[in-house]
Structures are given as structure tokens and as C-alpha cells.
Amino acid sequence: MISLGKITELAHHTVCSIIGEGDRVVDATAGNGHDTIFLAEAVGPSGQVYAFEIQKDALLKTAERLKQKNLDKRVTMIHSGHERLFNYISYPVSIIMYNLGYLPGGDRQITTKYDTTLESLKQALTLLKVGGIITIVFYPGHEQGADEKKHLLSFCRNLNASEYAVLHKVLLNQGNNPPELMVVQKKLFCSDLSG
């Protein structure tokens, strides 16, 4: 049973029906590794996860967690910002997950920003397979998070409706600006030029 109050769990649940054995997927914000581990388990031994993270300590901790679970061979750890997806990935992927904001337990001054996240999202839309999904968890309770939410929602609201479906999930009865989830799917009937 999923908990609707846990937005990251809801993001995992959302991609479960899409992701499969042997898929190529992206964790655009590896952080503490929770999404990376989830994706590595989901793609199985023949799949591949590309995990991006700008903070080296977080990357090393995630790599260690993956090794402890025997999942390290399924994951390519990339010490780089997610706005450089094209530098590392040149073929279609099934899932791209973003968990924005700052690293829990880390320096709160180091946070994702709308300009680099928007650039990453534009690249992600190109890399996404037909039927594939992008999940974005926003944290509008801090200034950078509210700014990211505003810009990314505006961008996604204007995506071509014949090519993409966009869903925005909000916990309506929670105070203090709780996390929110946006899901973007490349529609099945959309022509896929990337293969």
C-alpha cells in the first residue's frame, strides 16, 4: 500500500507500471541514493541507471549503498549537474526522476536552481522514449524551491498537449508548503524521432 502523504513514494509508484527489466533510466538528482536504489532494483541486472549528483560526498555515499546491495554494476555514477544529460546519454530512456531542493542532512545553501533544472528538463524531454515518464518532486517550502516550482510549472503547462501529458499532484490539506509531484509522459502516439 502506498502512502499518499509521501510524495517521493508516490513518484516511485507512478513509474512502476512503466519501468521494466533491461530499461535505461536516469536519476537526475542522486542525493542520498533512494531513487537510485529504487531504479537499480527495478531495471534488473540487464538494465542501466545513470545517476547525476554535483556533491561528491553524496555520490560516494550513494555508491557505497549500491555496493552493499549488490546493485553497483547497474549504475553509472556521474559527478556532474543534471543540465549536462546530453554529455553522458545519447539514446532514449524510459524514466527520468528529479527530486529537487537541497540534500537532506547536507548544506542547505547547495540547492537545485530553476535555470539548470529547466535546461535539464528540456534535454530530458528529448531523451525520453515514447510512453516514458519524467517525475519531478518540488519543495516549495524554501525560496529556491518556490522559484523552481513557478518556472517549471509554467514551462510544462505550455508543452504541446498532442505530444505530452502533464499531471500535477498537490497535497491540498497539508500546511507549510508540502512537497508536490509533477509527472510528464511522452504520449504513445507521438512520433519518436530518437528511436
Whether the pLDDT of residue 194 is over 50: the answer is no
pLDDT greater at residue 113 or residue 83: 83
Read off the pLDDT of each residue in 66-71 and give the average, rounded to a whole number. Answer: 96
Whether the pLDDT of residue 160 is over 60: the answer is yes
Write down the pLDDT at residue 114.
82
The rounded mean pLDDT for the chain is 89
Q: What is the pLDDT of residues 7-29, one digit of tens each?
A: 888 899 999 989 999 999 999 99
* Residue 3: pLDDT band with limits 50, 70, 90: low
Read off the pLDDT of each residue in 74-82 and give the average, rounded to a whole number. Answer: 96
- The domain ranges of the chain are 7-186
Write down the pLDDT at residue 5.
64
Write down the pLDDT at residue 195.
45
* Residue 147: pLDDT band with limits 50, 70, 90: confident
Read off the pLDDT of each residue in 35-53 and give the average, rounded to a whole number. Answer: 97
Residue 98: partners with Cβ closer than 8 Å, 6 or more residues away: 28, 29, 82, 112, 117, 120, 121, 134, 135, 136, 137
Write down the pLDDT at residue 106.
62
Q: What is the DSSP string of the chain?
A: ---TT-HHHHHHHHHHTT--TT-EEEES--TTSHHHHHHHHHH-TT-EEEEE-S-HHHHHHHHHHHHHTT-GGGEEEE-S-GGGHHHH--S-EEEEEEE-SB-TTS-TTSB--HHHHHHHHHHHHHHEEEEEEEEEEE-TTSHHHHHHHHHHHHHHHTS-TTTEEEEEE--TT-SS---EEEEEEE-TTS--TT-
Write down the pLDDT at residue 1.
64
Q: Which CATH architecture has domain 7-186?
A: 3-Layer(aba) Sandwich (3.40)
pLDDT greater at residue 10 or residue 39: 39
pLDDT greater at residue 102 or residue 61: 61
pLDDT greater at residue 166 or residue 139: 166
* Residue 2: pLDDT band with limits 50, 70, 90: low
Yes or no: say if 34 and 5 are a contact pair by the CB < 8 Å rule.
Answer: no
